Amino acid sequence: MRRITIACVAVLLWGLLGSAMSVSGEWSTSFLLGSGDVFSSSTLALSTTLSSWELTSTSVFTPQGWETQALEFQRDWGALAISGGLAFTLPSPLGVTSFGQAEEDLRWESPGVELTGWDLSLELSLGRLTLGLTFSQRPRNDR
């Protein structure tokens, strides 16, 4: 019940932020028939544009709770385009254990939250020539 409440609060907060901007989304759910657990997984994808940045958040929920979160961004500045993203796995149940400032750094911690990948791409279009540079880090099985 607590997980559902957290998910609803997150969607409502996103909706409040979206009252001043356009927010679109998609929710897909899969069911397994003939097995013990009927609910298999559910995916919620929300997209918005803020100051010419296209932002997308994708959340995946399973019977165990909120499993993964992906954040993506994209923007074009004339001939230069930038895009990127982050992907996380989340513990079940999700709980923030500390948010504080150490003398040398500011950090947010929740045991089990793990960055599973990131990427950053730059493209420069010069007429018929496009130069691209991509940085990424993903687990070996995703390459």
Phi, psi for residue 3 in degrees, rounded to 5: -65, -40
Residue 138: domain span: 2-142
Alpha helices in the chain (DSSP H): 2-18
Q: Which residue has the higher pLDDT, 129 or 103?
A: 129
pLDDT in tens, 85-115: 998 887 765 544 444 444 444 445 556 778 8
Q: Measured in Å, how far apart are the chain's first and last C-alpha atoms?
A: 37
* Residue 58 to residue 88: CA distance in whole angstroms: 10
Q: How high is the mean pLDDT of the chain?
A: 77
pLDDT value of position 80: 94
Number of domains in the chain: 1
pLDDT in tens, 61-92: 887 778 888 999 999 999 999 999 998 887 76
> Would you say residue 11 has pLDDT above 50?
yes
